[in-house]
Amino acid sequence: MTPYQFTILIHSFLTDNRLSGSVPDWMLSSENKIDLSYNNFAYNESSGDLECLKQETNLFRSSSTDDVLKKASCLTKAVCPSKLSSWYVNCGGNIQSFEGKEYERDDDADVFDQAISGWAYSNTGNFLDNNKRDSFVKIPPGVPQKNHELYSTARISALSLTYNAFCLMNGSYDISLHFAEIVFTNDTFSSLGRRVFDIYIQGNLREKDFDISKQAGGIGKVIVKTYPVNVTISSLEIRLYWAGKGTTNIPSQGVYGPLISAISVNPNFQLPGAGLSRGTVAGILVGAICAVVVILGVLWRRRCLRQRDVKELELYGITCSFTLRQIKNATNNFDDTNKIGEGGFGSVYKGVLPDGTLIAVNQLSSKSKQGNREFLTDLGMITALQHPHLVKLHGCCIEGNQLLLAYEYMQNNSLARALFGPKECQLELDWATRYRICIDIARGLAFLHEESTLKIVHKDIKATNVLHDENLNAKISDFGLAKLDEQDTHISTRIAGTFGYMAPEYAMRGYLTDKADVYSYGIVLLEIMSGMANFCDRAKENQFVLHDTAVALKKSGNLLDLVDPKLGSAYDLQEMMTFINVALVCTASSLTDRSTMSSIVSMLEGRICPEEFVAE
């Protein structure tokens, strides 16, 4: 073995490369540092002892098989003496008390911690400009400590840093990530540095190109980013990933890659057995009485207590954030020039609030049959659903017979308009953008189906219900006005949806499950890839050209004929074949052959291989 080869093998980083197949035995027994994390390897358990391999070989999330993954990455050693309702970690430092909470120590320099206290981390990468592998940093000597000691240390990574908690109670939490840039200083040289990385929580991108000092307003200043998260299987994953941006040419260790000072996880639910004291109960009662008096006074002034009918009584006690006058002013009294669309539940208008905020106002029509009681039920559901790939609800207005919803305004309108709208409205979407849009939609649906506390079937996934913000991030709309799927399966007495996107079992028998959304999503994938709408073939009743064409081309082995000519050859062939196969699996005629949305996300991200679609 030459010296060159030896140097390569001391630090081998194969992380996040979508690699599959078997791992050579010499890698599993190597004395060198080999990082195989975030791949799709298959392990032969009989060929060696995978039970908690040594930490020099990083196998974190290196296999798509859960059982093998747990054994190979030491997760079977996780100790959960009891379920936790909170979690606090002082990243890169010792035990610290801060704001009444005790933060656990996190000063182990290993690549992978064995989760002996119910949580673990994976540290990927090596700073090539330093012979010593540093996993954490301290505030430089001589630099005054302006903040709490919690921010005097930080864990750092050259590529990817992942924290996993395994013992949390299921429920809603606020995840707070504490940052302070303590590697750079304010001297002329290092003040030029920029630390840029991405933040993922539960696999969902929450911050793209996050710059600590820029968002904090300076070097050494504290910034805390807080995100709401639903924990459903007692597990939480926080990942910080360096995508190659920021400073890489200052000759000093630690000037690039993610850096974090602390993590705090706080519950948004009442803990089991946590009763209220008499003083607390008395305070709540007094506050409630005062609130009722104030509300009655306001309503009396507005003459809202006069001649109330039964429907208005159903709205008693509901406070919305907009008045009808504010909405009319924002939309210029629903002027036709501000009308930007006609949704399944009524007209949609662009509006501008006094502070300049743009909103999209959905004026629910009487045709939607949304009574006040039903509207309020759906409104409570919409408000509770917050996700980066769902259109955000800013507020509502309920006055008289007016039922209005004010959503965030999406600058780039709908996917349908971008792909096959009027020529002047179409957008030039390259392959990378289209692929990302598909992943965005899949993540939003996976949240509705599996991650939300309420299981929701959208019923009407289509290109017009996928909207884009100014950065072409895709978000699902109209999800809140679909019905809750209260049982695993049921027969729907009222079919809602759009022909061409509706699953066969739902269109013909009213049989509704979340797999109906999966079918609709598959049709949207075909539209994105081909740039064509799935329109009906008038010569053949109940048949749609795009889907039928895709199946026929699969049989003939000419699937690439379906690719949008606008893309030319500017796409990854392997990605395209995976993409088309996923679309066809989603649109399988039998709902049992369709994958779940969480599995589809993993397929598109290359973490698992899609099942091969077999044309009938």
Three-state DSSP class for 424?
helix
Cβ atoms of 181 and 220 closer than 8 Å: yes
What would the two tokens of residue 218 be?
């300076």
Three-state DSSP class for 287?
helix
Cβ atoms of 199 and 207 closer than 8 Å: yes
460 tagged catalytic: yes
Catalytic hit among 113, 198, 440, 460: 460
| Burial group, residue 173, by CB count within 10 angstroms (0-12, 13-18, 19+) | buried
Written as one string, the DSSP assignment of 369-420 is T--HHHHHHHHHHHHH---TTBPPEEEEEEETTEEEEEEEP-TT-BHHHHHH
What would the two tokens of residue 504 be?
């066969």
Cβ atoms of 149 and 99 closer than 8 Å: no
| Burial group, residue 555, by CB count within 10 angstroms (0-12, 13-18, 19+) | exposed
**What strands, in cross-sheet order, belong to the sheet with 11-13?**
11-13, 33-35, 57-58
Cβ neighbours, 10 Å, residue 400 = 8
Cβ atoms of 178 and 263 closer than 8 Å: yes
Cβ atoms of 13 and 35 closer than 8 Å: yes
Distances (CA, A) of 523 to 344, 455, 497: 19, 22, 13
| Residues with catalytic function | 460
